[in-house]
Amino acid sequence: MLYQGQAVQLARLVGAPKTLNLSVTSDRVELEAFKIYRIWSSVDAFFLLGGTAVVATTASNPITAKVGEIFFTDRNEWFLAGIVSVGTGVLYLTELSMNPY
């Protein structure tokens, strides 16, 4: 039973985050198969998951600056592509473990 003010750890971060430098040209980073990732961006950006040739556009999935998203990779050769409509930024990808120990 949880009481007000208590929290439960659902996952823990594993290692240092991968980074993807964002610009107005799409770039991508490979994700490991069958892993859970938390992604968040330093700026408003767009991302797309796919195979080795995936390219993000400003019509792809939006991600709001500093608001995290959680994804599970369910296959090999899974890439995340990112882009911004103007300027530059960084997309951070941190692996999560559901084992709290």
Q: What is the pLDDT of residue 24?
A: 96
pLDDT for 25-40, tens place per residue?
999 999 988 888 889 8
Token pair 């090999």 is at which residue?
76
Residue 5 lies in a domain: no
- Decide if 14 is inside a domain: no
Separation between Cα atoms, residue 58 and residue 93, nearest integer Å: 20
Sign of the C-alpha dihedral computed for residues 57, 71, 88 and 85 taken in this order: positive
Is 83 part of a structural domain of the chain? yes
Number of Cβ within a 10 Å radius of residue 6: 7
Which residue ranges of the chain lie beneath pLDDT 50?
none
Domain that holds residue 45: 19-97
C-beta neighbour count of 32 within 10 angstroms = 11
Give pTM, 2 decimals. Answer: 0.79
Q: Does residue 81 lie within any of the structural domains?
A: yes
Domain count, the chain: 1
Report CA 9 to chain centroid distance, whole Å: 20
